[in-house]
Amino acid sequence: MGLKVWINGRLYDKADAKVSVYDHGLLYGDGVFEGLRSYGGNVFKLERHLDRLYESALAIRLKIPIEREALAKAVNETLHVNSIADGYIRLVVTRGAGSLGLDPNRTSDPQVIIITDYISLYPQELYDKGLEIVTVSIPRNHAAALSPRIKSLNYLNNILAKLEGLQAGCSEALMLNLKGEVAECTGDNIFLVRGGALLTPPVDAGILEGITREAVMELARTKGIEVREIALTKHDVYVADECFLTGTAAEVIPVVKVDGRSIGTGEPGPMTRDLITRFHRLARGAI
């Protein structure tokens, strides 16, 4: 049996799951989304993801036509219908179909979509040996123009950076903000280890408040590791002892080379390896 997709309270075969070509989510990227993971049939940080989804919708004045509790129940039911235990969930809310033109007031019937499937961003070899990334020329959107804290359907800023990274032979790319400070990667948050402390850019550097990022910071603090959210530059990256990325799809992945420069020993470091192990245990409810 093929996968089912939940749209506004109904389940559709994957091939029949459709929205209108007049939907402003398609025409203008007008909508919001969340990516979530399930481990052993349990959705990781579901409530926190729903917090962010509804906050993103509020920020763009999009009314989600379903209560949080009902949406949470629908996520779990869609996983069950598709017999997915360890999978990936994409929650999407579009502005809905309307006339041509930007005016959101001329739309109706927002589409709430739940896709449950599988995802594998990187091969296991890169989790074992580490990733190489490159800094790209595409800056992160200015937070005053389009807040990166809104997880919107318009990801062109990230896609352009991703294309530049791929052209350089790297599957992930580091983006700076307009001040030249480290922001985040195209789909992941970034962490550095220096002198036994864990460093990561602050929210006002123009980043998405990653939920895996939050979980890793809490794991570090519970072990007595100093966690500092501070402005970082490429210099800080180059001289770091360790570097790793976090994200719902990527989980926690080591970075061993940036812009052709080896980070630390050029191999995944001890703090990175420990946080990977403890994150996996947390995700599966072992801690």
Please classify residue 174 by burial: count the beta carbons closer than 10 Å to its beta carbon, then call 0-12 exposed, 13-18 middle and 19+ buried.
Answer: buried
Beta-carbon count within 10 A of 110 CB: 22
Q: How confident is the model at residue 287 (pLDDT cuts 50, 70, 90)?
A: low
Identity of the residue numbered 237: V
**Res. 187: pLDDT tops 70:** yes
Tell me if the pTM is above 0.85.
Answer: yes
List alpha helices for 82-233, DSSP H: 124-129, 156-167, 211-222
pLDDT band at 186 (very low <50, low <70, confident <90, very high): very high
Known catalytic residue at 151 = yes
User: CA 234, CA 239: separation in Å to the nearest integer?
Assistant: 9
Question: What confidence score (pLDDT) does residue 286 get?
Answer: 67
- Neighbour count for residue 159 (Cβ, 10 Å): 13
The 3-state DSSP class for residue 94 equals strand
For the chain, domains (ranges, CATH) are 4-117 (3.30.470.10), 124-283 (3.20.10.10)
Residues 4, 45, 151, 162: which is the catalytic one? 151
> Are 9 and 113 a contacting pair, CB within 8 Å?
no
Percent of the chain residues past pLDDT 90, beyond the cut: 97
Whole-number pLDDT of residue 36: 98
